[in-house]
Amino acid sequence: MDFELDDEQKAAVEMAHDFALNELRPLAEEWDKKGEFPKDLILKKAADAGLTSAGIPEEYGGGGLDPLTSAMVFEEMFWGCAGLATSIGANNLAVAPILIAGTEEQKKKWLPRLSEGEAKLAGFCLTEPEAGSDVAGIKTTAKDEGDHYVLNGQKCFITNGGISDVYTVFANTDPEQGYKGLAGFIVGGDYEGISMGKHEDKLGIRASHTAEVFFDNVKVPKEDLLGGIGKAFYIVMNTLDQTRAGVAAGAVGIARAAFEEALDYAKQRVQFGSPIIMNQGISFKLTDMLMDIEAGRKLYYYAGWLAKKAAEGDKGARRNLSTGSSIAKAFCGDMAMRVTTDAVQVLGGYGYMKDYPVEKYMRDAKIMQIYEGTAQIQRLVMAANLMGMKELKQF
């Protein structure tokens, strides 16, 4: 077992850290207050750095990073600013269904549009007002009209909703069939009939763009149907299995940023004649935060490794990926909430004020327990997988 990063991983992490430090952090406070994603200020820089296309294979113009290395990049990005990182990193989620289920023709048609140097955004259109965790409850319809499908419906809480150049959209071709009627589609952001609804005013990750998306008689060529009718439920589940390591990594990044701020403060803040880190109540809290972060990082490393091996065709990794990614996502989301809350506590009254960034980290951390499958859904997935488990091995 080798925990040392290889040269490609070291280079990717260093690049992402520098970008987060020099490009994201200087914008974080201002755009968190505004509650907007500064697309014109940051997107081209992120694209030129390869961050909007990191997970796209090199043959389609992307960075070709495997899921583990991509997750390491996400840790650095979320360390910089979780809001900005969410909008930039959403491309990774949106293109995953194309990589999983797309034909070679679809990949050649769509992936280069989001490739390195292209300042383009993508959106993953799954959630609806009445269909969040219950994917089979999707109400958006796709009607067969000969050489194309016609999409009608509403999506909500969509990262980059209404400002994306490409969407992966999930709709129901036959509502009476439940999940068997679901289908995925690749949809151009400029297609007639697509419009943006409410721009959400969020608690955290405020520098990301989150909005409703409406589809009003949107025509989609049949050639852009993903994987066939009835395959969408499995495409979605496989997509989330693949991307949850990145979400877990983002949670680690937020927690790490909060920990560093709390540690620095505890070394400098003097009470009763000594830095407060000399107080056991504070030092033990900091060590608990450190243990949480290190444990979370190892869990997302393992989930990312499973995703990498599964993508390479390893059947054993594929069997373990669902549980492994859910463990990482659930633990790291909960952990980020604990660590950021404790960081606010270490700073006391100052931590509650917007003069210090720890209150932002706490607000940002909450979403890590919610999007791409809530903490409770992760436990539901793990519990379901326990039904088929006979023993818990070390190998």
Q: Residue 217 has what DSSP assignment?
A: E
Residues whose CB is less than 8 angstroms from the CB of residue 201 and which lie 6 or more positions away in sequence, other chains included: 35
Q: Catalytic: which of 176, 192, 372, 391?
A: 372
**Residue-wise burial string across 93-122, b where 16 or more C-beta atoms lie within 10 A, e elsewhere:** bbbbbbbbbbeeebbebbbbbbbbebbbbb
Question: Which residues are paired to 186 by β-bridges?
Answer: 168
Tell me the backbone φ, ψ of residue 5, rounded to 5 degrees: -70, 145
372 is catalytic: yes
- Our measurement of the distance from residue 116's CA atom to the centroid of its chain's CA atoms, rounded to an integer in Å, reads 19
CA distance 373 to 247: 10
The DSSP element (H or E) to which 98 belongs, if any, is helix 82-101
Query: Which DSSP state fits 20?
Result: I
How buried is 156 (Cβ within 10 angstroms: 0-12 exposed, 13-18 middle, 19+ buried)? buried
CB 291 within 8 A of CB 211: no
Q: Is 261 helix (H, G, I), strand (E, B) or coil?
A: helix
Torsion angle, alpha carbons of 171, 173, 179, 183, to 10:
-50
Residue 29: count of CB within 10 angstroms of its CB: 14
Q: Is the dihedral of CA 62, 64, 66, 69 positive or negative?
A: negative
Residue positions annotated with a catalytic role: 372
